[in-house]
Structures are given as structure tokens and as C-alpha cells.
Homo-oligomer: A and B are copies of this chain.
Amino acid sequence: MSLLVIGTVAFDEVETPRGKTGKILGGAGTFIGLAASHLMDDIRIVSVVGGDFPEEHMNLLKKHNIDTQGIKVIPEGKTFFWAGRYHENMNNRDTLATELNVLADFDPVLPEEYKNSEYLMLGNLTPAIQKKVIQQMAKRPKLICMDTMNFWMDVALDDLLEVITMVDVLTINDEEARQLSGEYSLVTAARKILTMGPRYLIVKKGEHGALLFYEDKIFHAPAMPLEDVFDPTGAGDTFAGGFMGQIARNGDTGFENMKRALIYGSALASFTVEKFGTDRLVEISKEDIANRLEAFVKLTAFEI
């Protein structure tokens, strides 16, 4: 099974109550790809970077069996850069810098061999770009999952509403679900959003877990309570990558596997926050993941 990922490959600079980084590897595409790489092999990323993007970062992706030929390098350009500072509660953050750089003119062109990818994960980007990617596919992927955010609801709502008619799964956070639907209750919000196009809605609630809505069914995946959250950057993208990785791995888009995929996504995300950037995500073993999945079973199992 093959998974095509569209998303930023970027530099992050992060300050949390636990410390401060220099310019490190970040970006939605990076976290999605690395997370999925723990579950499957055939992963392709479409993105853009500048001439300042180090070979070592590119090699890290390749080492994780990620095909990087879709990452366009613009030698005279600079890589997308984001800097932020987290508050003590790790849920709120201030953006200190957003330098779009080469991302400002990102116009994704899919390599021929990517156009038959069976699964497609659209990271959080301009809806117009997400649409362009879908349109380049040679055949409809078995499942298209799309992440987005409140910013696009504010500045590109029409485009956004069009793209979500083209996808199977939409992932947004609770506030965004409320904004998109105009409904406060998440259940009512979800019901409304499921009439807008997607068959599945995932509502991300950060440290409070995530909800999956499908028809009249609801599934709740908790977040793993952790002793120390080091850096939340990339947790949502890791979640999406783990989710799609699990689905692409066994090719099952039924509700039972969707639920399982939510737990895989949550498990991988719980690693990402344990260290800065991708540090933890790239070092974990299959055994670490199996143990964490087992911890999720223990965290939630009960008998009536």
C-alpha cells in the first residue's frame, strides 16, 4: 500500500518551559511521514524546501523509507520557518515568527509515479493547494484524509468548503469544529459537518484525546497522561500520520480499523511530545510502540 503525504517540510524553533531549541527539523509533512514510517514502507512526500535545507534532514527522511523526490528544492530560496513559545500549560502558544519563504509560491506538481498512490494525506495547507493535489491524482485514492485549521476558515472558507466535499476524513480541533459548523455541541457540530462532504470526522482535543464521528457512531481515543510533556509541536501531525499509516498498512477503511487507527495515532503522538521536535519520533522501536499501545488498552479497558 502506498501513502502520499502533502505537507510542509520546514524549520521550527521552539521554546517551552522545558528548554529552547535552535532551528530544528519540523513541518506537518515531516511529522506525518515519520509517524507513518513506523507502520508502513511506501511513503511519498510532496513539499518544497530552500537551498538552506540540510542534506542531513533529507537523509533522515530517506532513512525512514520516505521517498523524497517529491520534495522540491529551490536552491535560491529559504525553507519555511516557524518559531513559537509554549506557555506552562502547553496548550497555549505564541507564534514568534512565521516566514513562509519558498512556501509562499508552493505549487505542488506530483511526480508521475505518485499519482496512483492508494492513500492520500493532505496536511494543513491552503485549501486551493489541497484541491490541486487531489485533481492531479490519476485515480481516486481509497481514502483521502485532510487536515485544516481555523485560519483557512477565516480567509478561504469557500475553497475550504469545496475541498472538504472531495475528502473522506476531516481532522480539526474542537474549536474549529464549532467554528465550521456554528454549533457549540460537538455532537451537533459533527452531525452538521458530516453533511458537508466527509464520511468521517476526527475532532482533536489535544491532551484530552480525540473523537471520531461516523454516521451516528462516536469513538473516543484518550491522550496518554504523561509525566512530562516536553514539546507539543507536531503532535497533531504525528497523530494524523499514525492514523493514516495504520489504515494504509492493512487497507481497511471500516469503522473498527478507523478506531484502531485513532489509537495508533494517539500512541505515536504521545511519543512526539516527550522530546523536542522529531527527536523522540525517530528513535522509538517497534517494541516501544507495542508497549505504548498496550498502555492505551490498560488506560481504557473496563467491564460493565
Contacts A187-B225, A211-B225, A229-B185: A300 and B297 contacting too (C-beta < 8 A)? Answer: no
Q: How far is the CB of A92 from chain B (nearest CB, A)?
A: 13
Cβ-based interface call for A72 (8 A): no
CA distance A260 to B303 in the complex (A): 6
Residues of B within 8 A of A226 (CB): 185, 187
Contacts of A129 in B (CB 8 A): none
Asked if A299 and B228 sit within 8 Å, CB to CB, the answer is no
Cβ 8 A contact of A222, one of B88, B89, B222, B259: B222
Q: Residues of A within 8 Å of B, CB-based: how many?
A: 38
Q: Is the contact region of chain A dominated by helix, strand, or loop, or is it mixed?
A: mixed
**A113 touches B (CB below 8 Å):** no
Closest to A293 in B: B304
Interface assignment of A286: CB less than 8 Å from any CB of chain B: no
Contact B304 A263 (CB under 8 A): yes
Given A187-B227, A304-B293, A299:B218 Cβ within 8 A: yes
Least Cβ distance of A14 to chain B in Å?
18
The listed residue (B184, B221, B262) touching A88 by CB distance below 8 A is B184
Interface status of A249 (Cβ within 8 A of chain B): no
Chain B residue nearest to A187 in the complex (CB): B227
Q: Digit string of A175-189 for contact with B (CB within 8 Å is 1, else 0)?
A: 000000000111110
Partner of A263, one of B187, B297, B302: B302
Contacts A188-B227, A229-B185 given; indicate if A300 touches B256 (C-beta within 8 A).
no
Determine whether the beta carbon of A217 is less than 8 Å from that of B304. Answer: no
Q: Are A304 and B219 in contact (CB under 8 A)?
A: no
Specify which of B184, B208, B227 is in contact with A89 (CB 8 Å cutoff): B184
Question: In the complex, which residues of chain B have a beta carbon less than 8 angstroms from the beta carbon of A256?
Answer: 302-303
Question: Which B residue's beta carbon lies closest to that of A295?
Answer: B218
Q: Judge whether A64 is part of the interface by a CB distance below 8 angstroms.
A: no
A160-173 toward B: CB 8 Å interface, digit per residue (1/0)? 00000000000000
Q: In the complex, what distance in Å separates the CA atom of A221 from the CA atom of B209?
A: 12
Q: Write the residues of chain A forming the contact surface with B, with a CB cutoff of 8 angstroms.
A: 88-89, 184-188, 205, 208-209, 211, 217-222, 225-229, 256, 259-260, 262-263, 293-294, 296-304
Per CB-CB distance, the 3 closest pairs between chain A and chain B, nearest first, are A208-B208, A220-B222, A259-B302
